[in-house]
Structure 1
Amino acid sequence: MKYGQFVMQVFLLTIVGGLSLTYSQTLNAPTSLTVEVNDTAEVDCKIQQNDDRAMYTAEDITWYNQNQAIPEEMYSTISNTTSVLVLPFVQFADAGDYSCRLGNGVVSTTQIQVGTVPRIANFSCQARNMKEVWCTWDPMPSNLPTTYVFTYKLSHSKKWGDCPDSVTKGPNSCYIEQSLGTPHNMRVVATNDLGSKVWLFNINPDTQSKPDPPEDVKVIAETSNIAAVSWKIPSEWYSPHFTLHYKLQYYSEWQPHICQRNLMQILSFLIR
């Protein structure tokens, strides 16, 4: 829970033997409070004074929500100067302004926010070749302002670096060029007023790259029983020192079972 402080003052001026004596009372309550949904919210409203001869005590404090009086059973006096409002099992609809008031109209207001700890879903990273990698994630609603910070590092390094490109792959993403085929540690930290959570993902473009499908696939009938199949390397595969292996599957009306050919460094094949 996060608190701020708000103070209202009321002054009592008396004349004793020609001397002016000023007694003051203040209302001291949090300006804001953030509570997790289904938790219990407790708000203290304290009277502070510079003299024991007080005009008001905590028994004189009443509570309001959006200027609507709150039933007395929802708050209690725990000392001569402190009243406590208790809201059990708060829901999102309970968010709003709650005020404690003294009999003369002095008011202290607390804004209560209700939310959940930050969460993300579908955090994953992928590589289409050995020189680039990117990660994406989906923020989950928390009903609170939430920040998401992506950092990464090479597995042998101790220093985390900021995301170099959060635009190319769209919102909630990070794109890293020149990944050098080294194992990477990826991290997303989500933070709001209820705390922070960390998600990690490890990927090695050398061993976990998943190339795009071949491009410009063509089938041409050479004769009545021969077909020529050709294709091009995926355009995103610019790793000249690493060759792709292809798997060609086909069947004909005369041979309904699927035939398969494993091809290395070949961009065409004749089916007979």
Structure 2
Amino acid sequence: MDSLTYQPLEGSCETPHTPPSILHGCYQDGHRPDTAVISPQDPTLLIGSSLQATCSIHGDTPGATAEGLYWTLNGRRLPSELSHLLNTSTLALALANLNGSRQQSGDNLVCHAQDGSILAGSCLYVGLPPEKPFNISCWSRNMKDLTCRWTPGTRGETFLHTNYSLKYKLRWYGQDNTCEEYHTVGPHSCHIPKDLALFTPYEIWVEATNRLGSARSDVLTLDVLDVVTRPAPPPVTTDPPPDVHVSRVGGLEDQLSVRWVSPPALKDFLFQAKYQIRYRVEDSVDWKVVDDVSNQTSCRLAGLKPGTVYFVQVRCNPFGIYGSKKAGIWSEWSHPTAASTPRSERPGPGGGVCEPRGGEPSSGPVRRELKQFLGWLKKHAYCSNLSFRLYDQWRAWMQKSHKTRNQHRTRGSCPRADGARREVLPDKL
């Protein structure tokens, strides 16, 4: 008899319409029928394959005969034209162009006696081998864990239970390790919670296995430092810097001092952060950003307007102390902190300012150069220690120089031969 194409019906080897105790290969309850046997038992076939199966009644069964036997698949009776008698004790079945199993646990193929009683059962697995997993991506929340996810394959569905294992090992030594916490951020993901080595590259890959074969992804090499706070659903970053304080710098009317505390997540010795500051005047919505704060937790803003209220915010971006190849994620800005610069005590235009007469040091080249230096500083918020020291030294020297000139005016000064006064230079800038 010619074989016919079959379509899998409802039910499976895990949820059959027939009693599970007799289905050898699907249920492990220790009970096996002794009346008949199906061959092949629990076959695994590719989609599109054909199956030739037999149900043979044991010869020592009294009155045993294959006459009147029939087949069911997932609890539904198969058409009689799909089977035929081979002999008095054997009923054959021919299935062609098999489709994928209805459930990954397999389809129930059962042989019944004429009265409907069950003689034997088998699980039928029809599907595809796994494809090579791809698109592995990993990220770490705190450099002590690692979460990875992947794509199972271009076809995706194999119709068979396919096991995915995330493997990892240190690149140059060590044994293979297997991730154990699966489905943490989706169906194809796994989380490694701890025990990761630092500053050493890892090799990570995924192995897919089912009844028809196995496949292995390409190896992903990464350093945990390079994936800390990388975007993950949802993106992970630190809190903004807390305890932002803004205060005046003595009586300097054009400056404000900004100090803050590192976020708690960055107090681990393995972390540092780079910071940004932005500030605006009270009646404006335009922010000015200071990018060169580096990893300091303080900064002095210069070149501000006297007698003006400023709002200041700070944010941070974490990175490992040994560096990272990939940029982290900026935190949110801190809550705005307000402070005002002192009002200027210098008289404005038309206030009767006494201009210095010719011959004063203010007209000399050194003073002009220092004025240029001061003008440059006022246009920039300076946050590096080098600029800070230079500016303070310059101000101290100017005060000392001014005091010295006042003393010369009262005691008299020694003119040079050319009639010009001597200009005192600072020891260091």
TM-score by length of 2: 0.40
Counterpart selection for 2:38 from 2, 19, 29: 29
| Structure-1 residue corresponding to 2:81 | 73
Q: 1:94-133 counterparts in 2 under 5 A?
A: 96-103=107-114, 107-118=119-130, 120=133, 122-126=135-139, 133=146
Shift of 1:153: 0.9
- C-alpha change, 1:68 and 1:221, in structure 2 (3 Å) is closer
Shift of 1:152: 1.2
Identify the structure with the greater strand proportion: 1
Alpha-carbon distance in 2 for matches of 1:88, 1:167:
37
| Structure-2 residue corresponding to 1:181 | 199
Shift of 1:28: 0.6
Task: Give yes or no for contact 1:166–1:175 (8 Å, CA) kept in 2.
Answer: no
- C-alpha change, 1:128 and 1:8, in structure 2 (3 Å) is closer
Shift of 1:156: 1.9
Determine helix, strand or coil for the equivalent of 1:73.
helix
Aligned length: 226
- C-alpha change, 1:80 and 1:242, in structure 2 (3 Å) is same
User: What is the letter of the counterpart of residue 180 of structure 1?
Assistant: L
Cα deviation code 1:11-62 (max 9, x no counterpart): xxxxxxxxxxxxxxx31126744444333344331232149xx845556543
- C-alpha change, 1:81 and 1:221, in structure 2 (3 Å) is same
RMSD: 4.7
Segments of 5+ residues of structure 1 without an aligned counterpart are 10-25, 247-265, 267-272
TM-score by length of 1: 0.58
Alpha-carbon distance in 2 for matches of 1:84, 1:153:
51
Determine helix, strand or coil for the equivalent of 1:234.
strand
| Structure-2 residue corresponding to 1:149 | 165
Shift of 1:108: 2.1
If asked which structure has higher relative contact order (CA below 8 Å, sep 6+), I would say: 1
Identify the structure with the greater helix proportion: 2
| Structure-1 residue corresponding to 2:249 | none
| Structure-2 residue corresponding to 1:205 | 223
Task: Give yes or no for contact 1:43–1:86 (8 Å, CA) kept in 2.
Answer: yes
Counterpart selection for 1:240 from 321, 338, 343: 321
Task: Give yes or no for contact 1:131–1:205 (8 Å, CA) kept in 2.
Answer: no
Cα deviation code 1:43-97 (max 9, x no counterpart): 331232149xx84555654323456543343234456644332222222476743
Determine helix, strand or coil for the equivalent of 1:241.
coil
Task: Give yes or no for contact 2:45–2:125 (8 Å, CA) kept in 1.
Answer: yes
Task: Give yes or no for contact 1:130–1:205 (8 Å, CA) kept in 2.
Answer: no
Task: Give yes or no for contact 2:164–2:208 (8 Å, CA) kept in 1.
Answer: yes
Determine helix, strand or coil for the equivalent of 1:4.
coil
| Structure-2 residue corresponding to 1:229 | 290
Aligned-pair identity (%): 23
1:91 aligns with 2:96: no
User: What is the letter of the counterpart of residue 169 of structure 2?
Assistant: K
Task: Give yes or no for contact 1:144–1:193 (8 Å, CA) kept in 2.
Answer: yes
1:136 aligns with 2:169: no
